[in-house]
């Protein structure tokens, strides 16, 4: 199993003791450390030790005076030298640690040619009883980083009540005797990789499929669970020696569906998308209607969504009308039917009805409903009145819930002062939207970062670059202007000129003025 840090040392007393203490302290702090003192006594350099060096991020080389003296002698066989050369050959981050008063040779030529690079590598000098400060210096220089979540990174089986090898052996014996429960558990162990292989997880899909097929053929309730897993494996293409097959996945799903809610949901997905079977509108509709009278909101919503997808809005609304307790998502869906006006022919939006349902959903933290209701308040139509304070409240709910467009609109409100003008807050929400790929937020930031309250020309340039690369005309103009003036970047009149022309072609009329200005400048300066 690969480790982040490899500790190399010579078993010369001082180095040995220091390396033990260093490894213990690093592991206590949560680092993943390869440290195997027994390897140092092997008659030949083991391949697994080289592999550990190849797979590490940091190669810590503990150097005592005796170790350095030994390395300076060009011995034919030296295991520390082999480790160093393997680390060098594989481009590892080598960190020499000098202990017990050790010092690197002052001249590289004092080292054998193969190790002549070593005196040039920055070393950390630690006293035998290293203090916190130099020890911290060592930690800061590592590529491997302390992460408490990795404290148990290499703990394969820390539950003494579940000895994996022993239980695996027992299940194997029981499965061979025909115990279906044992067959199923054994299959799951192979499928999820719980089996032991020198302290590592070991996935064995071939064995998993073997036992799952036996379970699926048994007259036992678990046969349908086995069919679900086999269907998943055929769907994902993980059945050994067989190609991925949606058709075979569907066969197992069909067998399990009458007995398994999970299989039933998978059957709905396959029928709806025509995966592993031919799409048949009426067959899928009949499937959805089978359990419609059970009062299951999830199935009712699935049926309504299917109607909406194919433009049967009245049928969808009839399904919603039959539901007694409306969930936030159902309120949202009904609100959008009214918002889009699709319940009449020709379409005629009813914003008052839409607002009622959308607000009900938004007040129960439905992010999309909060956005839609906020937008109704921000730019109302019909008889719905403008209400910037409500718009701010609901758009903030949506924005804080991760809705990128809500973040953009809220930033615009704070920039423009619809309720209150707050440029730092505008920047905050524009940045959130930009991080989700909203190019118009990048354009707004390119402009805002040139304002005194939040001025940062480098960020303005970076944001303008993103907006321009996404084809936002005003972003092209702002980037051109920054390049022309050399704000947040090196001035580049030629690039600015081309961008001004693009911005003009995309509708920014003032860009033509700048194109003319640069033409005049070129004529005057002959650039």
**Domain containing residue 11: CATH number:** 3.40.50.10140
Residues 484, 395, single domain; the answer is: no
> Which residues does 198 contact at the CB level (< 8 Å), separation at least 6?
none
| Residue 40 pLDDT | 45
Q: What angle do CA 257, 262, 263 make, to 5 degrees?
A: 30
DSSP 312: -
Give 199 or 157, the one with higher predicted confidence.
157
Q: What is the pLDDT of residue 129?
A: 53
Within-domain flag for 312:
no
Q: Tell me how far apart the alpha carbons of residues 347 and 339 are, in angstroms, rounded to a whole number.
A: 10
- State residue 189's pLDDT score: 86
Cβ-in-10-Å burial (0-12, 13-18, 19+) of 454 comes to middle
Looking at the chain, the whole-number percentage of residues with pLDDT higher than 90 is: 45
Residues 18 and 140 grouped into a single domain: yes
Q: Is residue 374 predicted with pLDDT exceeding 70?
A: yes
**Domain termination residue (choose one: 279, 313, 345):** 279
Q: Is the pLDDT of residue 135 over 80?
A: no
Task: Report the candidate in 88, 123, 119, 124 with the shortest Cα–Cα distance to residue 106.
Answer: 119
11 and 133 share one domain: yes
Does 521 map to a domain?
A: yes
Residues 341 and 474 in one domain: no
Confidence at residue 460, expressed as pLDDT on a 0 to 100 scale: 94
Say yes or no: 257 and 196 in one domain. yes
Residue 105 forms part of a structural domain: yes
Q: Are 457 and 488 in contact (CB under 8 A)?
A: yes
Q: How would residue 226 be classed by pLDDT, with cut points 50, 70 and 90? A: very high
**Res. 131 pLDDT band, cuts 50 70 90:** very low
Mean pLDDT of 151-160: 60
Number of domains observed in the structure of the chain: 4
In this structure, are 63 and 135 located in the same domain? yes
- Percentage of residues in the chain with pLDDT exceeding 70? 86
Residues 105 and 187 in one domain: no
- The reported pLDDT for the residue numbered 381 is 73
CA 247, CA 244: separation in Å to the nearest integer? 9
Same domain, 484 and 390: no
Looking at residue 274, its pLDDT comes to: 85
Q: Are residues 168 and 221 in the same domain?
A: yes
Residue 99, classified by CB atoms within 10 Å of its CB into exposed (0-12), middle (13-18) or buried (19+), is buried
* Same domain for 184 and 131: no
Confidence of residue 495 (pLDDT cuts 50, 70, 90): very high
Residues with Cβ within 8 Å of residue 233, at least 6 apart in sequence: 205, 208, 209, 212, 239
Compute the CA torsion angle 42, 44, 48, 51 (nearest 10 deg): 130
Structural domain of 184: 164-279
- Whether the pLDDT of residue 125 is over 80: the answer is no
More confidently predicted of 135 and 12: 12
Of 98, 124, 150, which residue constitutes the final position of a domain?
150
The pLDDT tens digits for 514-526 are: 999 999 888 876 5
Same-domain pairing of 176 and 134: no
- Cα–Cα distance between 214 and 198 in angstroms, integer? 28
Which whole number is the average pLDDT over 140-151? 63
Element (H, E) at 6: strand 5-8
End-to-end, the C-alpha distance of the chain in Å comes to 62
- Per residue in 84-94, pLDDT (tens digit) is 988 988 888 99
User: Would residue 171 count as lying in a domain?
Assistant: yes
Contact 313, 291 (CB under 8 A): no
Residue 168 lies inside a defined structural domain of this protein? yes
Tell me whether residue 489 is in a domain. Answer: yes
> Is 203 within the bounds of a domain?
yes
d(CA 382, CA 409) in angstroms, rounded, equals: 21
Which pLDDT band holds residue 223 (cuts at 50, 70, 90)?
very high
Burial of 235 (0-12, 13-18, 19+ CB in 10 A): buried
Q: List C-alpha distances in Å: 56 to 34, 63, 87, 486.
A: 8, 19, 9, 44
Q: What is the pLDDT of residues 158-214, one digit of tens each?
A: 566 667 778 888 999 999 999 999 999 999 888 877 665 554 556 788 999 999 999
Q: Say whether pLDDT at 38 is over 50.
A: no
Residue 428 resides in a domain: no
What is the CB-side half-sphere exposure of residue 114 using CA atoms within 13 A? 17
Q: Cα separation of 182 and 305, whole Å?
A: 42
Given the DSSP bridges, would you call strands 201-202 and 195-196 parallel, antiparallel or unpaired? antiparallel
User: Taking residues 10-32, what's their average pLDDT?
Assistant: 79
Query: pLDDT digits over 268-297, tens only?
Result: 888 877 888 888 878 877 777 776 554 556
Q: How many CB atoms lie within 10 A of CB 503?
A: 27
CATH number at residue 247: 1.25.40.10
| Mean pLDDT for the stretch of residues 290-309 | 70
- Which residue among 150, 183, 215 closes a domain? 150
Looking at the DSSP bridge assignments, the partners of residue 142 are none
**Same domain (yes/no): 176, 274:** yes
């Amino acid at each position: 199993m690969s480790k982040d840090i490899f500790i190399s040392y010579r078993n010369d007393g001082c180095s040995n003791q220091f390396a033990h203490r260093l490894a213990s302290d690093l592991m206590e702090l949560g680092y993943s450390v390869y440290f195997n003192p027994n390897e140092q006594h092997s008659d030949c350099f083991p391949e697994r030790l080289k592999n550990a060096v190849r797979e590490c991020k940091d190669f810590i080389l503990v150097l005592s005076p005796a170790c350095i003296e030994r390395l300076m002698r060009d011995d034919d066989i030296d295991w520390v030298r082999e480790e160093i050369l393997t680390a060098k050959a594989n481009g590892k981050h080598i960190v020499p640690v000098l202990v017990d008063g050790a010092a690197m040779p002052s001249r590289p030529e004092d080292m054998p040619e193969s190790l002549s690079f070593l005196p040039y590598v920055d070393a950390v000098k630690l006293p035998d009883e290293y203090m916190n400060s130099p020890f911290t210096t060592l930690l800061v220089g590592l590529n491997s980083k302390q992460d408490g979540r990795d404290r148990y990174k290499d703990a394969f089986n820390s539950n003494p009540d579940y000895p994996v090898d022993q239980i695996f052996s027992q299940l194997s014996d029981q499965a061979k005797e025909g115990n279906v429960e044992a067959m199923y558990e054994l299959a799951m162990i192979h499928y999820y990789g719980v089996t032991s292989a020198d302290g590592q997880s070991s996935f064995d899909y071939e064995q998993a499929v073997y036992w799952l097929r036996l379970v699926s053929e048994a007259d036992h309730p678990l046969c349908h669970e086995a069919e679900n897993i086999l269907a998943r494996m055929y769907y994902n293409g993980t059945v050994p020696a067989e190609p991925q097959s949606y058709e075979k996945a569907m066969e197992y799903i069909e067998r399990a569906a009458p007995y398994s809610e999970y299989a039933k949901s998978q059957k709905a997905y396959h029928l709806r998308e025509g995966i592993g079977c031919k799409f048949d509108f009426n067959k899928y509709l009949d499937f959805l209607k089978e359990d419609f009278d059970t009062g299951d909101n999830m199935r009712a919503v699935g049926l309504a969504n299917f109607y909406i997808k194919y433009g049967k809005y009245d049928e969808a609304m009839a399904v919603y009308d039959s539901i007694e307790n409306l969930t936030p998502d159902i309120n949202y869906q009904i609100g959008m039917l009214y918002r889009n006006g699709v319940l009449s022919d020709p379409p005629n939006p009813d914003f008052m009805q839409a607002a009622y349902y959308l607000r009900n959903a938004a007040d129960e933290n439905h992010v999309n409903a909060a956005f839609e209701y906020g937008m109704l308040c921000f730019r109302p139509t019909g008889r719905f009145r403008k209400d910037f304070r409500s718009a701010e409240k609901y758009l903030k709910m949506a924005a804080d819930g991760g809705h990128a467009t809500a973040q953009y609109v809220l930033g615009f409100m704070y920039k423009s002062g619809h309720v209150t003008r707050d440029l730092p807050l505008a920047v905050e929400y524009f940045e959130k939207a930009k991080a989700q790929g909203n190019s118009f937020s990048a354009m707004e930031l390119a402009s805002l970062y040139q304002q005194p309250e939040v001025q940062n020309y480098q960020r303005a340039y970076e944001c303008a670059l993103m907006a321009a690369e996404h084809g936002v005309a005003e972003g092209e103009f702002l980037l051109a202007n920054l390049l022309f003036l050399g704000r947040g970047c090196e001035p580049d009149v030629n690039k600015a000129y081309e961008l001004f022309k693009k911005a003009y072609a995309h509708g920014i009329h003032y860009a033509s003025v700048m194109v003319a200005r640069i033409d005049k400048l070129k004529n005057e300066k002959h650039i």
